[in-house]
Each structure stands twice: as C-alpha cells, then as structure tokens.
C-alpha cells in the first residue's frame, strides 16, 4: 500500500501537476503585486509581526520572489530549489497566520489583493496553505523538469 | 566480503552523494531569493509607486498621555501620486461642515454593520459594478474621502485611484481608516440589511 502511494507520488505526471498548481498559485498571487510594493507593505503590516523597517523590504522583494520562484517551478527550472523557497514561504505564511489568529486580530489574508477576492484570514486559509505545502514537497523530494522528461523520451 | 577501510570509503562516498544535492538545492534557493530581491529593488527604483527602502517609521503617539508611544506603529508608507491623506480630525470637520462625500470601500456586510454617516458603499472588489450607481452623487460632491477598515488595508487607496482615473481629482484618503475613526469617537451610522 505504502509502496503504491510512493510510486504514485513520484510519478512524473503527479510531479508536473504539483509544480503547475503550486507555482501557478504563487504566480497568480504575486503578479498583480509586482508594481504595487506600497500596498504589499500595508498588507504585511496588518499582521503586526515584522519590524516597521522591514515592511518596506517585504513589499519590494516578496512579490518578485513569489513570481520568479513560481515561474521557475512551473517551467521545471531548478525545481528542487524553487520548491524549497516556496515551501519555506508557505511555512512562514502559516506561522504568521497562526500567530495573528491566536492574537485575535481580524485582518485580510493578503494572499491576493482585496480587489481580486482576497479573504479574511482564518483557519481554513491555513489549511489551504498546509495542502499547498504538501504539494510543494513533491518536487522537493522527487524533482522533475521538462528537460528531464524530454531526455527520458529521447532516451 | 569488504574490509573495514573499504566500508568506511563507501560510507564517505554515500554521504558525499547525499550531501551534494542538498547543498546544491539550498544554494539554488538562496540564489533565487537574492536574484529576485535584487530585481525587486531595481524595479522599485524606477517604479511610479516607488517606496523608500529602509525608511524610518514614526511611532504614533495618538492618545498616549504626555505624547508617549502607545507601542502601536503607523508605517509611513507613502500614498500613490495624486492622492493626499486626511486625518480623523480633518474628516470629522468635513462631516460637520457637510462638505465631503465619504466613500466606504469595505464590503457591504461591514458597511451595514456601521459606517461614517452619509457614506456611500463602493467596495473595492465590486468597483466596476457599483460605480455607475454612485457616479451622480460623486459628481455633486465638493470633496470625496475614501476609507476602508484599518491603516493596513489598501481598498480605500485602490478606490481613490480608480476615482482619479474618472477625473475625480478632489479625492482624498482617510489613511487611519474606520478603526481609528471609531476609536477617535467619530459618528457612526448603521443600516439594516435589505
């Protein structure tokens, strides 16, 4: 049973699906934020965790990390490293979300912009991040890329 | 059967084989983050919505006796070009003098729970649908003040920017938002759900 599950999880098609889902979601979330660092800094400020000096830093860099890493994962370029970055970000988001919920702050998730249908931060969103984290572990453990797939087909 | 030195050598080779991809993965991840951050900094320098990196942030002393900090921070993240901020006191005066139309950029649910008296609801997420119904009132207003839930939300800024696109150049933003309006003793109007 476990062997079957592992065989299923490491199948290249499952790997491609995981990369597309995780990378695609980060691309979609980060792309509209690229040229709006001030709005991102405000969203991050809502969590009241980061030192104010770091808010600007987060606003300027985070959307680019999301988009570039998401793009790399979708394309299968440095898939293991890209998956590691996104898994790290998901752990960070879950930690920040948990801390915020435990402190009783009612804020928007900030995952997407409000005008894109952002939701209030809740335990359901942390569960979603947890599922995404599971999917991000697939390319981290069994990395696959289009280059590798092409080689396999050619060989 | 293998000898002890051979076993040790095999073990070392195995460790190297396992260690190399891990180091490579971590190095790749660090490189991705650094390159992405560098691009972010470079684009920010030339962006029309550029924000000064590592800017100092003022500690708000609002409500604290003797001007001491309350521990709450208000980031001085600048508003986009063309928009000016309004303080709670200025907004209260505008409401008293009846010379401003308040635009609530929050969701209809929050609007119904309570809003600044006389406000119209123009949720950021439904701007395009809601704008035609609000256009007449907006055109008649001397001054327009948008607000959302807290100092950290950007809905009010988004709505103000969209209003600027429609040539409503008299639009300003209550940056400390609904949260500080209520804390500051601002008047509240409630509306029953339809």
The nearest alpha carbon in chain B to A64 belongs to B36
Mean pLDDT of all residues in B147-173: 89
Residue B193 has pLDDT above 90, yes or no: no
Average pLDDT in chain A:
85
Which candidate, A77, A81, A92, places its Cα nearest to that of A132? A92
Residue A89 has pLDDT above 60, yes or no: yes
CA–CA distances in Å: residue B34 to residues A25, A50, A56: 21, 20, 16
CB interface of B with A, residues 83-122, below 8 Å:
none
Residue A79 has, within 13 A of its CA and on its CB side, a CA count of 26
Sign of CA dihedral A113, A115, A120, A123: negative
The nearest alpha carbon in chain B to A47 belongs to B152
The nearest alpha carbon in chain B to A118 belongs to B125
A103-123 pLDDT per residue, tens: 887 777 878 765 565 677 889
B106-143 pLDDT per residue, tens: 888 889 999 999 999 999 888 899 999 999 999 999 99
Mean pLDDT of all residues in B16-38: 85
Contact A82, B32 (CB under 8 A): yes
Q: Both tokens of residue B33?
A: 């983050």
Q: A57 to chain B: which residues are within 8 Å by CB?
A: 53-54
> Taking an 8 Å Cβ-Cβ cutoff, which residues of chain A contact chain B?
34-39, 41-43, 45-46, 52-53, 55-57, 59-65, 67-69, 72, 78, 80-82, 84-85, 88, 107-108, 113-117, 140
Instruction: Supply the pLDDT for residue B41.
Output: 92
What band does B19 get if pLDDT is binned at 50, 70 and 90? Answer: low
Q: Both tokens of residue A154?
A: 């050619």
Assign residue B78 a region (left: φ > 0; alpha: ψ between -120 and 50; beta: otherwise).
beta
Instruction: Supply the pLDDT for residue A118.
Output: 61
Instruction: Indicate yes or no: CB of B57 within 8 angstroms of CB of A53.
Output: yes
Residue A137 has pLDDT above 80, yes or no: yes
ipTM for the predicted complex: 0.84
Does A124 or B71 have the greater pLDDT score?
A: A124
Residue A41 has pLDDT above 50, yes or no: yes
Mean pLDDT of all residues in B163-176: 92
């Amino acid at each position: 049973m476990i062997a079957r599950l592992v065989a299923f999880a490491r199948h290249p098609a499952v790997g491609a699906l995981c990369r597309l889902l995780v990378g695609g979601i980060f691309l979609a979330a980060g792309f509209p934020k690229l040229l709006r660092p001030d709005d991102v800094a405000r969203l991050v400020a809502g969590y009241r965790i980061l030192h104010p000096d770091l808010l600007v830093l987060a606003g300027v860099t985070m959307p680019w990390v999301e988009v570039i890493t998401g793009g790399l994962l979708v394309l299968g370029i440095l898939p293991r490293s890209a998956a590691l970055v996104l898994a790290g970000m998901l752990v960070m988001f879950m930690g920040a979300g948990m801390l915020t919920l435990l402190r009783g702050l009612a804020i928007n998730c900030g995952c997407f912009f409000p005008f894109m249908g952002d939701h209030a931060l809740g335990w359901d969103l942390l569960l979603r991040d947890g599922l995404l984290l599971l999917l991000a572990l697939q390319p981290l453990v069994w990395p696959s890329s289009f280059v590798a797939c092409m080689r396999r087909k050619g060989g | 059967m293998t000898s002890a030195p051979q076993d040790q050598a095999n073990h070392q080779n195995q460790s190297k084989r396992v260690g190399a991809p891990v180091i490579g993965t971590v190095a790749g991840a660090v490189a991705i983050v650094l390159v992405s951050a560098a691009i972010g900094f470079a684009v920010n320098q030339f962006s029309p919505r550029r924000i000064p990196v590592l800017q100092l942030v003022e500690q708000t002393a609002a409500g604290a006796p003797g001007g001491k900090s309350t521990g709450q921070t208000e980031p001085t993240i600048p508003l986009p070009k063309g928009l000016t901020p309004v303080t709670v006191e200025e907004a209260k005066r505008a409401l008293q003098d009846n010379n401003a139309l308040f635009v609530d950029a929050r969701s209809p649910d929050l609007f119904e729970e309570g809003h600044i008296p006389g406000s119209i609801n123009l949720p950021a997420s439904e701007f395009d649908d809601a704008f035609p119904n609000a256009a007449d009132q907006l055109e008649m207003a001397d001054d327009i003040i948008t607000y959302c839930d807290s100092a950290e939300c950007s809905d009010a800024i988004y709505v103000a920017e969209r209003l600027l696109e429609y040539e409503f150049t008299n639009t300003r933003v209550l940056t400390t938002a609904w949260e500080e309006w209520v804390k500051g003793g601002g008047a509240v109007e409630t509306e029953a759900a339809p």
